[in-house]
């Protein structure tokens, strides 16, 4: 009897730990709950979160903090997209947290970088270009593009090249004077120094990072 009681007592903290493990440290969402809410997301982001087409972003393995921040920005109007703004409008705060953790829990599928891309921007990604005031991409996003959840720097390794190119070009063309201080303004300032060739090469390079 004592052994049974001891086994039950020991199982309680284990069960509690398993339950806590399902919760995300950054946004306190629930991956299982998010999975039940993600069906409509699959139309663009794919059933595994790796994008249903090259022009849609991969969300699998993305920082939950980053996903949550982007969803709240779409909902508030701080970030505008014809599709995502409408989708986010109907989400509650808990919905956004659960979806963020769900996609963060999925396994990202990397692509392949072209040899030309590696030759063109491999050094730029790893070491930057001090003469042009361009810091190494790896200094924020990491050597394999995994990002930094605590600072909100997103995962870019394995991202769809077409989506990455469009995103970098948009940042390149953005007037930084209109942006508040933060990560987006920092990225727009850096992207403005990139050539069109470098943007295309970086997009391919990121697709192959893993």
The larger pLDDT score, comparing residue 6 to residue 88, is at 88
Residue at which a domain ends, from 44, 75, 104 = 104
Does the pLDDT of residue 17 top 70, yes or no? no
Judge whether 137 lies within some domain.
yes
The token duo for 163 is 């989506």
Q: What is the mean pLDDT of residues 74-82?
A: 94
Burial annotation 159-179 (CB, 10 A radius, 16+ → b, else e)? bbbbbbbebbbebbebeeeee
Q: Output the pLDDT for position 106.
A: 97
Judge whether 120 lies within some domain.
yes
What Å distances lie between residue 83 and 68, 73, 144, 203, CA to CA? 17, 13, 30, 23
Q: Output the pLDDT for position 206.
A: 97
Q: Output the pLDDT for position 179.
A: 86
- Co-location of 92 and 172 in the same domain: no
- Co-location of 98 and 121 in the same domain: no
Judge whether 164 lies within some domain.
yes
Residue at which a domain ends, from 59, 81, 104 = 104
Which residue segment(s) compose the domain that 123 sits in?
115-208
What's the domain count of the chain?
A: 2
The model's pTM: 0.85
- Co-location of 129 and 81 in the same domain: no
- Dist CA 93 CA 12 (whole Å): 30
The larger pLDDT score, comparing residue 79 to residue 22, is at 79
- Co-location of 202 and 123 in the same domain: yes
- Co-location of 79 and 150 in the same domain: no
- Co-location of 133 and 84 in the same domain: no
Judge whether 29 lies within some domain.
yes
Does the pLDDT of residue 26 top 60, yes or no? yes
Return mean pLDDT, the chain. Answer: 89
Phi, psi of 134 (to 5 degrees): -105, 115
Per-residue pLDDT tens digits for 94-146: 999 999 999 999 999 989 999 999 999 999 999 999 999 999 999 999 999 99
- Co-location of 99 and 121 in the same domain: no
Q: What is the mean pLDDT of residues 142-152?
A: 93
Does the pLDDT of residue 18 top 90, yes or no? no
The larger pLDDT score, comparing residue 88 to residue 10, is at 88
Q: Output the pLDDT for position 25.
A: 74
Q: Output the pLDDT for position 22.
A: 45
Q: Output the pLDDT for position 8.
A: 35
Q: What is the CATH number of the domain that holds 178?
A: 1.10.760.10
- Co-location of 124 and 186 in the same domain: yes
Residue at which a domain ends, from 80, 104, 128 = 104
Does the pLDDT of residue 161 top 90, yes or no? yes
Of 65, 21, 70, give the one whose Cα is nearest residue 41: 70
Q: Output the pLDDT for position 23.
A: 53
């Amino acid at each position: 009897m004592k052994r049974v009681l001891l086994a039950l007592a020991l199982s309680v903290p284990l069960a509690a730990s398993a339950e806590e493990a399902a919760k995300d440290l950054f946004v306190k969402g629930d991956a299982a709950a998010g999975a039940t809410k993600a069906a409509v997301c699959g139309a663009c982001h794919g059933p595994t979160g790796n994008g249903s087409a090259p022009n849609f972003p991969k969300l699998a393995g993305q920082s939950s903090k980053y996903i949550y921040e982007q969803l709240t920005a779409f909902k508030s109007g701080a970030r505008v997209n014809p599709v995502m703004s409408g989708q986010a409008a109907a989400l509650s705060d808990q919905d956004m947290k659960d979806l963020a953790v769900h996609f963060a829990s999925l396994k990202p599928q990397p692509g392949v970088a072209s040899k030309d891309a590696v030759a063109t921007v491999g050094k730029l990604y790893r070491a930057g270009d001090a003469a042009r005031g361009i810091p190494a991409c790896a200094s924020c996003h990491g050597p394999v593009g995994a990002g930094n959840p605590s600072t909100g720097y997103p995962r870019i390794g394995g991202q769809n090249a077409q989506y990455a190119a469009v995103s970098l070009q948009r940042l390149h063309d953005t007037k930084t004077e209109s942006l508040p201080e933060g990560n987006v303004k920092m990225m727009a300032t850096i992207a403005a120094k990139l050539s069109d060739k470098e943007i295309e090469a970086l997009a391919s390079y990121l697709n192959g990072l893993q």
